[in-house]
Amino acid sequence: MDKRLKRAATSSPVRCPSTKIYDYDEVFRWIVRFKQEHDGNSPTMREIQMQFKISNTSVVSYILKRLERRGRIRLAGERRSRQIYVIGGSWCLQIAPRAEVQ
């Protein structure tokens, strides 16, 4: 076998420069922040797509499924981005203390 072919077959794959690699932890942290700022409501797939400048919602779906497989989130139903549950997380309504009336 030609040495060049052998080296090409054993080396790691080269990524195309146009291929974007997404940081799943960054997406997870953004989802948590979004839920905290929106009373526990989850972002839509379009909101996630716009925040991270993702080409289409199928990529968002793929990222969410990867986060689910890693045990970071749980998705309720097929393609229901408004129902993203953070594993180990909960949101409670915080009521401001009442001012005393004099």
Domain containing 50 — which CATH number?
Answer: 1.10.10.10
Classify residue 60: in a domain, yes or no.
yes
Classify residue 10: in a domain, yes or no.
no
Residue 19, phi then psi, degrees to nearest 5: -75, 125
Classify residue 68: in a domain, yes or no.
yes
- Parent domain of 49: 21-86
Tally of domains within the chain: 1
* Reported pTM: 0.67
- The vertex-82 CA angle with 77 and 84, nearest 5°, equals 70
Classify residue 28: in a domain, yes or no.
yes
Question: If we measure between CA atoms, which residue out of 66, 74, 79 comes closest to residue 21?
Answer: 66
- The pLDDT value recorded for residue 15 is 41
3-state secondary structure the chain: CCHHHHHHHHCCCCCCCCCCCCCHHHHHHHHHHHHHHCCCCCCCHHHHHHHCCCCCHHHHHHHHHHHHHCCCEEECCCCCCCCEEECCCCCCCCCCCCCCCC
Q: Give the number of other Cβ atoms within 10 Å of residue 51's Cβ.
A: 15
User: What's the pLDDT tens digit per position in 26-82?
Assistant: 999 999 999 999 988 999 999 999 999 998 889 999 999 999 999 999 998 765 557
Classify residue 79: in a domain, yes or no.
yes
